[in-house]
Structure 1
């Protein structure tokens, strides 16, 4: 199979296909805050800033306990499902 000859005959005609000036490099350490000048209007959607919610210590504790309770409920569903599978398999193998 013959190799094609590489040519650099491309010319830039100045047309903009997609404006990439607002695209930033993604962070390797997680989501970084959006940097914007103060006179720029707020954006809606994925890049929009969320308002900070000030929580008291009691509210933070209840929030953490609620998250732990949700995780406990999900883990109990998994344990019950695996236990049911073990019981079914024991019933099949011992009969």
Structure 2
């Protein structure tokens, strides 16, 4: 497939349509340094939350409980669907 070439005569007149200089790059890892211009003020920092071992354990158990609850709902819904399909199939025979 041949590459398409531009046929319009686009010319940049230098006007700013939307100033994107204040938009920061999102961090996927959460610990990369911020990209900011030399005249931009620093963003306010969130306070660091220190958790005890017991609090961290309860948070992990809560997340595990939530995940298992969602998984059980999916398994129950799939079981109802399979039971319904089997009952429908037995009814047809």
- Spell out, residue by residue over 1:11-56, the C-alpha distance to the aligned partner (whole angstroms, 9 max, x if none): 75x64433333345555x544353568x9364xxxxx643211101
Q: TM-score, normalised by structure 2?
A: 0.62
Q: Which structure 2 residue ranges, 5 or more long, are not aligned?
A: none
* Corresponding residue for residue 77 of structure 1: 73
Structure 1 pair 92–35 and aligned structure 2 pair: CA distance change class (3 A): same
* Corresponding residue for residue 57 of structure 2: 61
Aligned residues between the structures:
84
* Corresponding residue for residue 94 of structure 1: 90
Q: TM-score, normalised by structure 1?
A: 0.61
Q: Which structure 1 residue ranges, 5 or more long, are not aligned?
A: 43-47
